[in-house]
Every structure is written in C-alpha cells, then in structure tokens.
Structure 1
C-alpha cells in the first residue's frame, strides 16, 4: 500500500484531513498529516516570522521520515509549500 503525506492549506492544520485519514487507513494506507509550524491551535508562534522556509522544512521532514516513496497531497496554499 501507499504512504500519503497530506499537507493542509492556509488557516488549517493536520486536522483538516480528519475525515479522509480513516478512509485511507482503512484501505491499508499509511497516512501522515502534519500541522505546519505556527498553524497549531493557540500557537505561541502567532505573529512570529514563519513562512515558506519553515513549512517546506516541515514537509521535507515528514517525507524524510519514511523509508519509501510517498504520495504527496497538497491543498490550496500547500501547493506553494510542496
């Protein structure tokens, strides 16, 4: 089966994929849906200089944590990140 890395769009977090994750996992896939830096609810990083560089590093880390190729899915603003 495949490993999916699901990257959320603006003003969202990994929870944006909460309805899709169970469908993919029940089909036997591995799913990683990280919340990008500064996008956590009640983040103490709000207002700090966080941008594409940090988010690219987050996605690269999620991909690098896998031993095989992944299916990368980007929603909305995540298209800039990925």
Structure 2
C-alpha cells in the first residue's frame, strides 16, 4: 500500500488557522484544529498577526474582520 503525502499550501494552512480562531481560541486548540505542530503554528500566528488577520488577546487568538474577508476570498477562489 502506497502512502500519499499531500502538502497544503500556505494559504490553506492560514485559512484553517483563521477558521479555528473565529470565535477565539487558545494556541493548543489551533494546533489540533489545523493539524500542525507548535513550531509551525507559532510561525503562522506571527505572520497572520503582522498582516492584521488575527489578534492576540491574552492567551486567546481571534480572527479579525480582515481575516474573515481573507477566508471568504480564499473560499471563493477555491484555495
């Protein structure tokens, strides 16, 4: 039996992180929801925060309105 490894795009991973943080989530929830390790999630969270797509409030991450727009556009484009 062959194992097929499908790599996700940066956009797909970003969308999954934003989806997980829609209602506000701790980093652990995002790690499990997006199926990533803490190192990868940390890198993505920094990038998404710099772009204004996610906010860090205490130990909770929340998707911003700009992040929600990004998700909608990505969904429409099938990314």
Instruction: Please say whether Structure 1 and Structure 2 have the same fold, judged by a TM-score greater than 0.5.
Output: no
TM-score normalised per structure 2: 0.30
TM-score normalised per structure 1: 0.29
